[in-house]
Amino acid sequence: MISLLFIVGLTACKKSYDYPFQNPDLNIKERVNDLVGRLTLEEKIGQMMNNAPAIKRLGIPAYNWWNEGLHGVARSPYRVTMFPQAIGMAASFDVNAVRQMAEYTSDEGRAIFHDATRKNTPGIFRGLTYWSPNINIFRDPRWGRGQETYGEDPFLTGQIGMAYVRGIQGDNPRYLKASACAKHFAVHSGPEWNRHTFNANISNQDLWDTYLPAFRDLVIEAKVTGVMCAYNSLFGQPCCGNDLLLMDILRNQWKFDGYVTSDCGAVEDIFKTHKSQPDAASAATDAVLHGTDCECSDNGAYQALGKAVERGLITEGQIDQSVKKLFEIRFRLGMFDPDEYVPYSNIKLDVLENPAHQAQALKLAHESIVLLKNQNKLLPLDFNKLKKIAVVGPNADEESVLLANYYGYPSKVTTVLNAIRQKATGKTEVIYEKGANLTDNYIFTSTYNDSYFSYKGEQGFWAEYYQSMKAEGHLALSRRETRLNYQWGDGEEIAPGIIARQMAAHYTTTFTAKENGEVCFYLHADDKAQLYINGERQKKLPSVQSYYLLNAKAGRQYTLKIYYVQNADNGELKLDVGKLHKSDYKQVAQRVSDVDIIVFVGGLSSHLEGEQMPLKIDGFEGGDRTSLDLPAAQKDLLKQLQATGKPVVFVLLTGSAIGLEWEAANLPAILCTWYGGQAGGQAIADVLTGDYNPAGRLPVTFYKNVSQLPDFEDYAMKGRTYRYFKDVPQYAFGYGLSYTTFQYTNLKITELNSTTLKVAATVTNIGDCEGDEVVQLYLSNQGRSFVTPIRSLKGFQRITLKKGEAKTVEFVLDSKELSVVDLNGHSVPMRGEILIAMGGCQPDVKSLASQRCLQAKITRPNK
């Protein structure tokens, strides 16, 4: 009797499950097979869309696969840490710092996911599948999305990309911390305007030498769990239905066992723009049979998979293979297991923007800054000796430029102007002149006063919110609001029952003019809003900013209506009112002519370069660039500032290479600071004042002008990047200065065996202060029967040396590094004469003479 009770008690303690897939003690494949075997065809198809619906009868929650984590958790309704844009992190040449950044990003993403799950508010940009990193090769500086990449070099891209993946995914043998996704596979880097129709044709050598190595590194070495196929075609086949890329290389050669997602709308492109298939069912079949498991689209082609099965184009068993891959990822993320099983489930919201994460944002912002020129050691600035400085330029007091694209909202962003003012408190007077916009000379001065705006006699605006982009018949909330100044993450709750996604908002107010004359309304909404005055739609001025002019009369009332629509992504809306005038550059220069030094903060922003943008102005089209020049408005202002005779420090914010011919010849100091994230302003001020010694290196070639480039649509590597560019650039890949000086001695090359070399040299800080050095190793194997790179980066290390300190740096090169790619795309050993260079930059006459770089030749048998 006692034995029977004991057995009954054990049975009662053992947890029972309705279905085997719910049992966390079974292996994942068993659970996935059991789950998928219980689904109807319709349910399976639903799980292959990025916004996978819940399957309530089995207790499967809804899940949206789409999330972004390029440089911090993006588009989230939570306040998060924002690190420098990817191109800036590449400039750090610091794989450990990037891995730490990725770990912190996945910490914050985990906290958001668990909080949203527990509150039953899941959705887009709250999941654990990050569609990052972008490891396309930044082959041409005109590409607007190049800022999202790790630059032009396959080796650097692979090393930084692997660090990111390992940081995001974690090292638990059973569970993924989050899932990274290598994109866009694989020959994809602009132009933006024709990406839905473009067909890339390249040589096998370029494919395997340039475009595939980083993807191979992430798939084979870092075990990335996701891959995104691209919009364009390769060799006449759309990338999301490509035999070579998805079947032969990814699945067969590389044995990739993760999931493939389409870029958003790319499966529809197969029949709509590429027209390689006649209809949605055929396009969906084509994509699935090539291994595209998930379609990113609101109303995509995969909805026709049921018809495809009926027509015999595809079988349900073939669909099962994709569904199983998707569920395997979700099981590996622990989404169906109790919290006590999943080691990451206890990460809470207090990790968001915690001190360690903020410190890492500053560290990477520091490390990303590249000192391009420092004539007569103008920098660092000594505020104890400067009585007055001027900060000038369109990016000086701008927060959004620091966040770049694919961004989230941190609680605090420090602009360059504010950071300089904090440094100068009580010591140096700082005056500010915007001077110019990014691409024009419009200067807006706010005169905003709440009393300007009223609705039915009460101050403010009447707001109407619709949970539909079409608005009509979908009014969900109306209320009075004081001021229009909002930042919403995608899906953020605006008010009970209203989220910032696929929504519309109408705002009505009466503007009462206080005086006669021209009034300017500034409406910041990224072209998602329209302004009507007295029932007439207003046309904005030809500017990147949205300026609208009204010739007002004092005391007269004007009815203003703003129609705002948000589909996806971040939501931003701000209405300001004031005066607009055209800047006179000579007068600006005259007003700052009595200062000791001028700091000009200019360049580009994600309002000019980015993803498929509705922009066409001089120098910019569709998110891409048509010129490498600094916008004329900024250059004209710089020339007037330089004419004052006062030293001008140019702080360049950009996501791509700028042709700096005039600037390099005429300005004494230039800092390239990229888009530095939330701490970008502080990092710049620290470098300007010497509180941090810059050591970033260019991850791209800075060409002199666009005439040095091949045609943008030509994907052949001839004449592109430092590896194949034979002309003289303005600034070379890997270039960057310091406030101290490093010297290289004792270069030694040791053959460890027939396939392995060790290269070592001593690096000594012979300058006046501590600093970082980025030690770079390049190999060249010219004289082959086929074209090989002029030189290729094969190793790098970022080290810190105190004044007078020396360190021996070693690189061990195996057969992978000691190879080149032949015309057939095959990797073959380096033979004959091999030139090996080690230093703080690429070898050239100046660097070799100053011992900032050393080089030597070895010969390997021609066998």
| Cα 428 from Cα 599, distance rounded (Å) | 14
3-state helix, strand, coil in the chain (%, to 5): 30, 25, 45
For 82, how many CA atoms within 13 A lie in the half-sphere containing its CB? 30
| Cα 406 from Cα 838, distance rounded (Å) | 36
Question: Across-strand partners of 453?
Answer: 511
618 annotated active-site: no
Nearest to 65 by CA among 183, 150, 145, 172: 183
| Cα 686 from Cα 362, distance rounded (Å) | 10
Nearest to 114 by CA among 277, 298, 411, 335: 335
Dihedral sign (CA 208, 212, 213, 218):
negative
Q: 105-124 as b/e, with b when 16 or more CB fall inside 10 Å?
A: bbbbbbbbbbbbbeeeebbb
| Cα 80 from Cα 73, distance rounded (Å) | 7
For 415, how many CA atoms within 13 A lie in the half-sphere containing its CB? 17
The answer to whether 149 and 138 are in contact (CB under 8 A) is yes
User: Coil, strand or helix: which one is 734?
Assistant: coil
Residues 6 or more apart in contact with residue 554 via CB below 8 angstroms: 513, 514, 515, 516
**What's phi and psi for 320, nearest 5 deg?**
-55, -35
Which DSSP letter does residue 241 get?
G
Question: Across-strand partners of 794?
Answer: none
H or E element that contains 681: helix 680-688
Q: Helices marked H in 273-311 — which ranges?
A: 280-289, 305-310
For 209, how many CA atoms within 13 A lie in the half-sphere containing its CB? 30
Element counts in the chain: helices (H) and strands (E): 21, 41
| Cα 301 from Cα 266, distance rounded (Å) | 9
Active-site residue (options: 103, 328, 569, 609): 609
| Cα 483 from Cα 764, distance rounded (Å) | 58
> What is the C-alpha R_g of the chain?
29
- For the CA atoms of 490, 617, 432, 372, the dihedral, rounded to the nearest 10 degrees, stands at 90
Active-site residue (options: 263, 268, 337, 576): 263
Q: Terminus-to-terminus CA distance in the chain, angstroms?
A: 82
| Cα 50 from Cα 214, distance rounded (Å) | 25
Burial of 10 (0-12, 13-18, 19+ CB in 10 A): exposed
Q: 137-155 as b/e, with b when 16 or more CB fall inside 10 Å?
A: bbbbbbbbbbbbbbbbbbb
The answer to whether 502 and 476 are in contact (CB under 8 A) is no
609 annotated active-site: yes
Q: Cis link prior to 380 (omega < 30° from 0)?
A: yes
**What's phi and psi for 833, nearest 5 deg?**
-80, 130
Angle of helix 28-37 relative to helix 316-332, nearest 10 degrees, comes to: 130
Burial of 725 (0-12, 13-18, 19+ CB in 10 A): buried
| Cα 542 from Cα 615, distance rounded (Å) | 11
- Could you list the active site residues? 263, 609
